[in-house]
Amino acid sequence: MMEFPSNKAGVNMVARIGSQPIALAAVVLAVLMIGVGSSALWRAYTGTSPEQDRVTSTRLLQARTAQASEQLVEKTKGLEATQQESIDQLQVVQDQLQTVRRLLTVQQTETKKLSEQVGNLTGAIDGLRQSFASAQSSEPSSPPSAGKNSARPTGRSAGVHRKRAKSRS
């Protein structure tokens, strides 16, 4: 038969296994304490912490955002001013265009009146020429005299009368 170890040896083994986890836990606890302590000492020595870095970066981002917003507002105001200037200039150009249109209309009206007057004058001149030509043709033809008071026209009007006389014959 087989012999079982004595009860004393079994208790010894359980005592060994039971004491090792406690020792292991104590060692792990000590390492953790050393890590936390060294981290705290490091932060205290350098004067920085992740929280401060986060706050600093957040403030920096806020400042950049505010600056970008101010620049956008300034650019928007500049665009508004430029747009208003363009609108004002366009209004001036439109006013000038309306003035030019009015002046053109007045000028066209005056041109029509002058054209009508020229037409009337031309008609009157033609009527006078015809009456003068008919008056001359109804007078008896007399030989031209060599004196100063000759009835024969001279210059340009003489040429006109000769042409009319030729065209009637």
Q: What are the distances in angstroms from CA 34 to CA 26, 42, 48, 50?
A: 12, 12, 20, 20
| Number of Cβ atoms within 10 Å of the Cβ of 12 | 12
Q: What is the pLDDT of residue 19?
A: 61
Q: How far apart are CA 169 and CA 164, in angstroms?
A: 9
74 torsion bin: left (phi>0), alpha (psi -120 to 50), beta (else): alpha
Q: Provide the whole-model pTM.
A: 0.39
Q: What is the pLDDT of residue 102?
A: 97
Q: Mean pLDDT over all residues of the chain? A: 80
* 55-81 tens-digit pLDDT: 888 999 999 999 999 999 999 999 999
* 98-113 tens-digit pLDDT: 999 999 999 999 999 9
Q: What is the pLDDT of residue 169?
A: 47
Angle subtended at Cα 33 by Cα 28 and Cα 34, rounded to the nearest 5 degrees = 100
Tokens of 110: 């005056």
Confidence bin at 46 (pLDDT 50/70/90): confident
Q: Name the residue among 168, 109, 159, 90 with its Cα closest to residue 134.
A: 168
